[in-house]
Amino acid sequence: MSNDRYHRGAGGHRRRHNRDREEHDYHDRRREIYDSPEQVIKNTIIKMGEVDPTQEVPRVAKQIRDGPIIVPAISEGIRLGVTQQPYKIPYYAALLRLLHDPAPSQIESSTSSSAPSLGKQVLEDFWKGFQGYLDKLAWRDIRLCIHFFAHLMVAQVISIESMSALLQSFTTVLDEFGVSYGRGKNAALCAIEGLLIAGAVIKKSSSPNTGEIIKAIQSFNESITSSKLLVQPMVSLHSDSPVLENADELIDNGLTVLKALEESDFLDAWSNVPQPYLDYPDLDPTVSSPFELPSILVPPEVIELDGLATDAGEDAQVKKEDWPEHFFYLFDNTVTPEPASMSGFLIRSNVRDIIDIFEVNRKECARLLLEYPKWCVPGTFKPRSGAPPTEEDPNAKNWQLESAVIETILGTLFLFPEPPHKAVYYIALITELCKLSPSTVGPAVGKSIRKLYILLGNGLDVEISRRFAEWFAVHMSNFGFQWVWKEWVPDLALVEDHPKRTFVHRTIVFEVRLSYHDRILKTLPDPMQIDLNVIDNQAPGPEFEYEDPTNPYHDVAQSILSLLRGRSRVDEVISHIDTLRISLESTSIPLPHPHTSVDALIRSLAVQCLLSIGSRSFSHLLNAVERYLPLLRGLANPNPAHGGGDETEAKRNILDAAAFFWRRNQQMVGIVFDKLMQYQIVDPTDVVAWTFGHAGMLDGMGDGDPGRPSCIGAFEWDLIKGALDKANGRVMVARRKVAALRKEQDDSIARAKASGGADVASMEADADVKPIKQDDPAAESPQLKIALKAFTSLTREQKCALSRTIESFVSCLALSPSDPRHNPYGQSVTTEQAWQKRLTWSNDEWKTWETWGWYRHFCRMYAPYLRNYATTLSTVGFARIQDSVDPAAELMKKTWDIATGQEV
């Protein structure tokens, strides 16, 4: 009987399960979402050409005509395709060209209709979207739409006169008074690229000559010549020449191409770009008249009116100005597209747009980049291995796709002052490309690394060297840290501070951070393994000065450690340290350093003990610092009445202790310094002063060798940059808070006025209405007063950090020979004669040259902030060299003037 019950139960369970599944499937079918006709047509247009664009364009045109005609959906599909898939623009122009033909019903009836063609209707709706891009000044979308219009003009869909007027509207921007470089550059690129595509037709027409457009662009380009000197990837301190062997400026290239085309009457210009619409019959203007683009006025830049005046009366609003874009080239023009040719310029522009647009999806970006040749004129790139043979074209370029893509990615990564996106995106994109096609992309990456390495020591900018090392290390970490290091073993004979040796050491440091010491050590050849200037002989870690039992202060440190490990209350720890201070003042134990005071010793003991319990992980560090914040603040702000010493010295002692503790791990030095600034134990100015005071002393202790000049390297620059970013970031946060509170107060006053003087925001039901007096000071928000006070204080701190940085660079590079801190190489390394003899330079000369590089990067990186306070900062920072005619001083002031826009 039990068995029968079991089987009946099991069968019932199966039936219920089947019934539940059927009901679930029924509900799933009810929830199925079917695309609307609008969505279907948009998707069809966006996906057009994935297999064979030439064959698909007529099919999509027929599908649009046969289906329900939904003009907004068709227009939106083309607009999304144009702005998100720029490589398809010629084919979208071909699609619209077919839609511009009369409808088949009109042709069969041999009647003309007054109604506009479908192509015109779509174009009219497309123009509304373009106007929206103009209103928002979405420059990339504007420029891509101009590509579309230019192709349509060549296809006879758009009139020549209206297209020429559109391009001239952008050159008008270049004549605006005080036009910013960013605005002018974007407008110039719109005119350049539009003219490259449409210039051959415009040149032969009766429209205004193409020469006028070129002349306007050239006038704008000549006005920014000096700015180009600060953003060149190859540094030439002794020369003002804008011409470089390994890089070209973007607008310069565009002008070079346009001038060459103008001189040849745009001969063979059409052979450089796909123009599938030229395969269709010419349009009859009597049947389908060209579309007239409406005239436009490029709207002005949005000017924020909530700038805040500082205590010195200067505007604290920061407007980030763009710099000229010098793109780095690694390969010969026979390998990658020639930048100063029409096809090369447009191809590079197209690849950069793909990289920019698909930043949200690096995998898709990598796939599209490797498929890019199918959207180009046949013969542009070498065919892939295994592809069917084709007829040889004598005019074929046969460039190497992978080399061109890698060169473009690295050129964008190396832009100054910063790349458009985070550096990790470009690094990850190269990794994805290598994974998709290792046999073709891998060699291109290897060649790029070797070519960049050759440029080290030949003028490669220090910031590019740092980014190169970062990319190289991360890239190696994705491929088992495999590299042929033995190729660079002969360079171990160079001086330690030569850029090649500095690069190798920095790369190894980054690799150890990404892995661990012993693993990286095994990847190196024997000569590098034993060279301490390549890799340290032990893994990076803490170095607790008082851990050794033989240290005379070991027991004192252990007493502090026992309290911290036991999570004793802050007041107990502070009381114990005060007791130790009194005890040490009367002890006979010698101080660790001749010039160290008891207070400095106490700070060193306390800080190192605190860092010791926080050394296990980042979370341990944060917990320790946050738990004992009052202790750190007491150490950093001594009470003079109790003989606590100077506050500046106290903060310097704290930084000394932190740097000594983590001297074998530079990354942790930066992290600890950042946390000390975050919790306001030290100020950004303190970090800047400490870094320059200990320049070159990577262990973070001591004043350095007085016989060596004070110079900074990449490690010191990272600390300085962290301090300046902290100061600038605080001001920006405070400014936004003030702006929000000010808007809130203005809204409250506006509501009060609207209600007849009553504060409606604070009204309660059945409560008496109290009028607000607009002139009553008490009506001002207390929160706003506090925020304004904080903003003024933080702005003062920001200016102090910036001016201290300038003063310190002056001390490193441009002091007079009579000054005891004078660097004898500050001037000599900037001369052409010295540069030609750089193979014999000493460590001091290379470090001085690197310091010049970081000064240049400081000026271009923080130009928006320097420009805001130019008068104050130059007066304070250059006070010691204001009247100096020393070449080094002149070069420093000239660099400053270029960065702040004051160059003559």
Would you identify the CATH topology of the domain 341-384+396-479? 1.25.40
| pLDDT of the residue at 90 | 96
Q: How far is 316 from 868, CA to CA, in rounded Å? A: 7
Q: Could you say which DSSP state residue 236 is in?
A: -
Look up residue 279 and give its amino acid: D
| HEC secondary structure over 739-804 | HHHHHHHHHHHHHHHHCCCECHHHCCCCCCCCECCCCCHHHCCHHHHHHHHHHHHHHHHHHHHHHH
Q: In the chain, list all ranges with CATH 1.25.40.180.
A: 37-104+115-264, 341-384+396-479, 542-663
Burial (CB < 10 A; 0-12, 13-18, 19+), residue 797, is middle
875: tokens are 């007066």
Cβ-contact 356, 375 below 8 angstroms: no
Residue located via tokens 């060459």: 260
| pLDDT of the residue at 1 | 43
What backbone torsions phi and psi does residue 422 show, to the nearest 5 degrees?
-60, 140
Look up residue 659 and give its amino acid: A
Q: What is the DSSP string of 461-527?
A: -HHHHHHHHHHHHHHHHTTTT---GGGGGGGGGS-TTSHHHHHHHHHHHHHHHHS-HHHHHHHS-HH
Residue located via tokens 């373009």: 130
| pLDDT of the residue at 757 | 58
Helix (H, G, I), strand (E, B) or coil at 158: strand
Residue (of 468, 461, 22, 540) closest to 247 by Cα position: 461
Cβ-contact 653, 689 below 8 angstroms: no
* 752 DSSP β-pair partners: none
398-438 confidence digits (pLDDT tens): 899 999 999 999 999 999 999 999 999 999 999 999 999 99
Burial (CB < 10 A; 0-12, 13-18, 19+), residue 263, is exposed
136-188 confidence digits (pLDDT tens): 999 999 999 999 999 999 999 999 999 999 999 999 999 988 888 899 999 99
Q: How far is 96 from 291, CA to CA, in rounded Å? A: 12
| pLDDT of the residue at 286 | 75
| pLDDT of the residue at 584 | 84
The architecture in CATH of the region 37-104+115-264 reads Alpha Horseshoe (1.25)
CATH class of 542-663: mainly alpha
Q: How far is 26 from 880, CA to CA, in rounded Å? A: 84
- Strand ranges, E, within 241-382: 247-249, 326-328
| pLDDT of the residue at 702 | 40
527-548 confidence digits (pLDDT tens): 999 999 999 999 999 999 999 9
How big is the CA angle at 622 (ends 618 and 625), to the nearest 5 degrees? 135
Residues whose CB falls within 8 Å of the CB of residue 729, separated by 6 or more in sequence, listed in order:
none
Residues of the chain with pLDDT under 70: 1-33, 103-115, 207-208, 242-243, 303-321, 386-392, 588-595, 639-645, 696-708, 756-780, 820, 903-904
| pLDDT of the residue at 205 | 82
